[in-house]
Structures are given as structure tokens and as C-alpha cells.
Chain A
Amino acid sequence: MARMKFLCDSDRCIECNACVTACKNEHEVPWGINRRRVVTINDGKAGERSISMACMHCTDAPCAAVCPTSCFYTTADAIVLHDKDTCIGCGYCFYACPFGAPQYPRVGNFGTRGKMDKCTYCAGGPQADNVAAEYTQYGANRIAEGKLPICAEMCSTKALLAGDGEMIATIYRERVQKRGYGAGAWGWRTAYKETLSV
């Protein structure tokens, strides 16, 4: 089985936010929820970089480790998913997540969080593939259709890569060797406890 990962080549990302928009559109993500976002560091300075970030589908995922109801599970492709029926919206996964991936709709009293929502790697949820209930809760299940996540697939500069970790690492390595520079794989040390040597 593949080990699915995201890799954002920040030397290519032009901060067009199309990945963010495509994600919202594909899954009909509600207002105020952003499964993916683009962060620009060193904005306006030398060394400015934009990085598209979402759930990295970590090895030994911190969200799963701290969840009081143990609602997370990992697929055979190492995609970290969760069951919204057993999520209670406590917010612990957001405190533990290094990447700020978990999102919560504001529902009900106080600042009470609704059921957590996050990037599913376009792999839906625990229901049968591509049933209406799955779409309502988690959005499209492109993986079940043999497609890659929409954000990476439609990235105009191919900065955002999704797929098996080995394959996208190879693509990235070839790029770096050809052009002679590369800032590296953002979040890989934190998410996968490995770095991408070029």
C-alpha cells in the first residue's frame, strides 16, 4: 500500500489560493471552515515563501493520540480520518495538532465547537464510499474513485504534490537537482519524523 503524503514545494507556490478555493468547492465546506490554507512567511522580505498547508496525515498522529473519544482512524494508505458521529467537538486535536488542521463550525451556545472538520485527503469518512451521507459529512471521496486530492491535482504551478511519499519525494528531488535549489519539504520533519534529503 502507498503511504500518502502532501509535499508543498515553496519555491513554486505563488500564493494563488486556488488549492484553498478548490477544496472548499469540491467538498462544499461551510463558511468559516478552511481545510487548506496558504501561509506566507517573511512576507515582503528576502526569502519570502508561501506554503499551502492542511492536515499532513501524520505518522503517530497527535490528534488521534489526544482524542477523548478515540474518533480517529488511519486508512491502509496512511490517511488520517475521523468519525464525526463520535467526535464531541472538545477541541483537543487543535491544541495537539502542529499544523492547525482541525476546524470547528461555531454552533450553539458560548463558543461551543461543533464536530471537527479537517482535510480528508479527499478520502471521505467511515461510511461506504461516495454515499450521500458521506458527502454531507466529509465531502467528496476522490480516493475511492482513483483520483488524487483536488488541491494538488489542480495546482497551477504543481507546487503542491500529493500521492505516495516515495513518488512525490522523487519528483521533488529531481526538481531540486535540475534547478539547483529547494527549501525542502515543509512539515515533513514534524509530521513524518523524516526529512527529504536531496
Chain B
Amino acid sequence: MIARILPALALALGLGFTTPAPAQIGGPVTGIPTNPAPSGFSAEELELQKALQGGRIGGRISIPDAQAASLVQPAGRDWRAFHNVTLSWIGGIAVLGMLAIIGMFYATRGRIAIDSGRSGRTIQRFNLLERSAHWMTAGSFVVLALTGLNLTFGRWLILPIIGPDAFATITLWGKFAHNYLSFPFTLGIVLLFLLWVKDNIPNGRDVGWLKAAGGLFGHSHPPAGRFNAGQKMVFWITVIGGTLVAISGYVLIFPFWATDIAGQQLAHIVHGVISVLMIGAMLGHIYIGSVGMEGAFDAMGSGQVDLNWAKEHHSLWVEDEMKKARETIAPNAKVAGAD
């Protein structure tokens, strides 16, 4: 027995060391074994070997379900570790860390005021279509985020408080909401991309804005166009992150239509990690767009922002808008004092 196990163990360990951990997720489905089977091969050796390699023990099955042909899939162990440990840590740090940063920022900097006060005059920042697309995306995102966090953390945070029956009911409805709201969310991502991509191409001014940290510390107001570098980051996080989350999410909604179990596990990993990172980013976005800055919410509320707010935060955009307005209202008028 020992004599049989040792060579197999050595082989398995060698393969185990040379196989990088991430490859275990997407390991090929192999009929076993890779070398010709000895007549009396052992289940234990095979299991150990496959567990170390991250491969699957699979074969032929007479029922019409390809998933059932897999006899033992050790990758489930890695997925469990991801779901229970890795994702909890990433999610916990992303959400609590961002809340802590926001709390500290609010405690030290407080609400960012309009330095020159409200002018009483407003300028249109976002039209009805832009605001509708934003709130459709934002509204569905909030529900998706809460129901998603519930799947990872609810068992530990909510279930002990409200009990298993009530928790199962809200989690089941949460699953339905999560599935259905994925559609308006995805549509919103597409709309936001089409509406705003032209103003979100990174350019040289963003470097200066980032060097000044956007004026978050101190009272400087680095010049910015329609969107400053921070908002561009939020835009690209939303578009790129949202796309990845949507694609991986649809793989999960339609299980095994497009991929096998390794693909499903990978889709969940992508979905989970990107989602919690996006939630962290959006907490910052929500803060600065509401209580964090005077006058900022009007942009997405009424769509009309105070002119002084616009001049301070989007000086170049205001200049452009003013120029356009002058050309529209009186194309031939000359600027005062130009004669």
C-alpha cells in the first residue's frame, strides 16, 4: 500500500506545486486518468491527486445532464474559501473602510461649502433624460447592492436578529429583486455610457486636478470641464465595473447556459469582487453628491445648479456653456468692451 501511494503522492505533490492556484478554478474537465490506468487504481490516490491538481474526476453518464458527469470537483473547496473568507474580507473592508474614510473626512473637512456663496442664478447641468438615466441606474444599484450584500453578510448580521423564516422571506424576495432589477441597471449603464462618454475622455487637465486632489483638502478649485477627474473615475468605474458585473450576473442568472461549473464559480468570483468594490466607490459618490458638498445634489435633483457652484467646480464647462448661450441668443453681438 505504502509502495503504491508514495510515487502517486510524489507525482501529485509535484503537480500541485507547479499549478498556480487561480488555474484551479478553470481546470479542465478530464476523463481520468491522464496516464493509462493501472488495473487496480485507488480511489483515494485519484482523489488526492485531483484535489492537489484542482482537476475533476469525471466520466460518462446516461442521464441527459452534462453537470452530472462530474464525480468529484475539488474546486468547490476553493470557491467555498472565496465565498466565506476572501469575499467577506474584501466586502467588509470596502464597505466599512469607505464609511470610515467618509466619517473621518466629514469630521475634519466638514461639508464643502460654496466659497462665494449662492448666486441665486442657476445653470442647467443635467437634462431630464440624463437625470432619469442616472436615477434608474442608481435606484436599481442600491437595491442590487443591498440584496447582494445580504447574500454574503445577512446570514451573520440579519438572520440572528429576525430569525430564519423572516430572513428566508426577505432573502427570497431579495433574489427576485436582484434578478429583475439587473435589467434596468444594465440599460442604465448603456444609457449613461452613451450620454456621457464624450465628456469623460481623460485629458491633460485631469492630471492637474488629481495633483490638487480635486481641492478636497484646502480651498483650491482646480479647473475642470463638464466632468472633473474624480467624476470621470466614477464614470469609468460605473461603466467598466457595471459591464463586468452585468455580464457575470447574467451568467449566474442563467446557470450553465453558457458555461460549466468552473465558469459559474469564476462568474460568481468576478461578480462578488467587482460588486463590493463598486459599492465602496459608490458610497463615496453618494456622500460627495449629497451631504458632502453644498449645491452638488441640485445637479441630479432639479438639474439646475447654482452658477457660483458651477464656476467653482466646473469653471471650464461654465465658460463653454456661456459661450454657447451667447452664440445662441445673439450670434452677432460683441462681448462688452470688445470695440
A-side interface residues toward B, CB under 8 Å? 10, 17, 20, 32, 34, 37-43, 45-47, 51, 53, 62, 65-71, 83, 85-92, 94-100, 109-113, 181-190, 195-198
Contact = CB atoms under 8 A, between A and B. Distances in A.
B164 A39 contact: no
Contacts of A65: 80, 84
9 pairs of A and B residues whose beta carbons are closest in the complex: A47-B37, A41-B59, A184-B43, A86-B168, A111-B254, A43-B60, A195-B44, A189-B47, A88-B172
B43 A183 contact: yes
A42 to B, nearest CB: 6
Contacts of B74: 98, 190
B32 interface: yes
16 contacts: A10-B43, A41-B32, A42-B32, A42-B37, A45-B37, A46-B36, A66-B79, A88-B175, A96-B79, A98-B76, A110-B179, A111-B257, A184-B42, A189-B43, A189-B47, A198-B1
Contacts of B63: 20, 34, 37
Query: At the interface, is chain A mostly helix, strand, loop or mixed?
Result: loop
A37 B41 contact: no
Interface of B: 1, 31-33, 36-45, 47-48, 51, 57-63, 65, 67-74, 76-77, 79-80, 83-84, 150-152, 154-155, 159, 164-165, 167-168, 171-172, 175, 179, 252-257, 261, 264-265, 268
A104 to B, nearest CB: 8
B68 A100 contact: yes
A100 B47 contact: no
Contacts of A71: 164, 168
Contacts, number: 173
Contact of A70 (B44, B47, B159): B159
A71 B165 CA distance: 10
A173 B186 CA distance: 58
Nearest to A60: B80
Contacts of B175: 88-90
A10 B67 CA distance: 21
Contacts of B152: 68
Contacts of B1: 197-198
Contact of B255 (A68, A88, A91, A185): A91
Nearest to B262: A95
A97 B61 contact: no
Given A96-B80, A109-B179, A68 B155 contact: yes
B171 A88 contact: yes
B160 to A, nearest CB: 10
A118 B175 CA distance: 21
